[in-house]
Amino acid sequence: MDLRLESISHRYDDVEVLRDISLDIPAGRIVCIVGPSGCGKSTLLRFIGGLERPTEGQVVQIGAPPADSINPLTYVFQDFALLPWRSVEGNISLILSDHGIRGRKAESIIADVLARTKLSEFRKAWPRQLSGGMKQRVAIARALAVNPAVLLMDEPLSALDSQTRELLMDDLIALWTRQPFTAVYVTHNLAEAVRLGHRIVVLSRRPGAVNEIVEIDMPLADRDLANPELDAKQKHLWHLMRAEAEAADKELVHD
């Protein structure tokens, strides 16, 4: 299933947040959205996921989600959103039971996503026993359990330290390499964007508009930030964003 954003604009009262955003999100690709603070990245993601409606424009689904997709548009948040009174497998089983999936079928799905996210030996653990990186793996496993057509990832690694963030990026690349998925990935981290994104959408400062779309035609498994091509892409992204990031920062300071 592809997604198409058609002329998305939005206002909150007198504040114009987004302006005339049109964008294609093709199946089997990771589309990263970057931009200065306050440019509307997370707001745009909420429109894509159907949590809110824009003032103008629409999000169009092209084609059908996979036949076994339980929840076509599924979020992964930066704060993990795990229930502390449920174990790892309990957090995953809850979302399945909400869709009427229990018993052997649920057990099979849980075993599969735990194996894919390297969590099989931690299925009985409690969230309080897990590191930040492990908690985010559980959140990703829970999202994968409903076999989404599109993963909506809102700063999923921003709460983690740099070493854990690198490990999680490696895990996401390995997951995608084994079984390609579609994702819209919001981040302020340009290194994440060039490591993970097939398409990087650069938004301007508020009102957020598409400044440029940068394509990276390199297999995810081959990406290394020491690669001159990726280094050049990251520098180009920063060149696009630097002046607007400075302006946005001054706006935030004055608020």
Which of 148, 164, 199 is the last residue in one of the domains?
A: 148
**Count of structural domains within the chain:** 2
Residues 10 and 111 in one domain: no
Tell which of 119, 148, 177 closes a domain.
Answer: 148
Last residue of a domain, one of 127, 148, 169: 148
Read off the tokens for 166: 């690198």
186 and 240, same domain (yes or no): yes
* 170 and 247 fall within a common domain: yes
Q: At what angle do helices 88-97 and 132-145 cross, to 10 degrees?
A: 30
**What pLDDT shows up at residue 240?**
86
Dihedral (CA of 141, 145, 149, 153) sign? negative
Domain that residue 39 falls in: 2-65+150-254
Query: Which residues lie closer than 8 Å to 228 by C-beta, 6 or more apart?
Result: none
Indicate whether 59 and 156 sit together in one domain: yes
Cβ–Cβ < 8 Å for 54, 18: yes
User: Is residue 77, in this structure, part of any structural domain at all?
Assistant: no
Q: Is there a single domain that holds both residue 154 and residue 142?
A: no
Task: Profile the chain (255 residues) by mean pLDDT over runs of 10 residues.
Answer: 95 92 95 91 94 94 88 88 94 92 93 92 94 92 93 90 89 91 94 95 93 93 87 91 72 45
- Residue 154 shares a structural domain with residue 134: no
- β-pairing, 2-12 vs 56-62, is antiparallel
Q: What is the pLDDT of residue 48?
A: 95
Does residue 90 fall inside a structural domain?
yes
121 falls within a domain: yes
Strand partners, 202: 34, 212
What does R_g of the chain's alpha carbons equal in angstroms? 18
120 in the same domain as 33: no
Q: Are 55 and 7 contained in the same domain?
A: yes
Q: Are 12 and 91 contained in the same domain? A: no
220 plus 247 within the same structural domain: yes
Nearest 5°: the CA angle 13, 20, 245 is: 80
In this prediction, residue 254 carries a pLDDT of 35
Residue 71 lies in a domain: no
- State the pLDDT at residue 135: 92
Identify whether residues 58 and 155 lie together within a single domain: yes
For residue 9, the model assigns a pLDDT of 96
194 alpha carbon, distance to own chain's centre: 14
**Sheet containing 183-186: order of strands:** 73-77, 150-154, 183-186, 30-34, 199-203, 210-215
- Three-state SS for 100? coil
- Residue 201 carries which side chain, given as an amino acid letter? V
Give dist(CA 121, CA 131) in Å, integer: 15
* 75 assigned to some structural domain: no
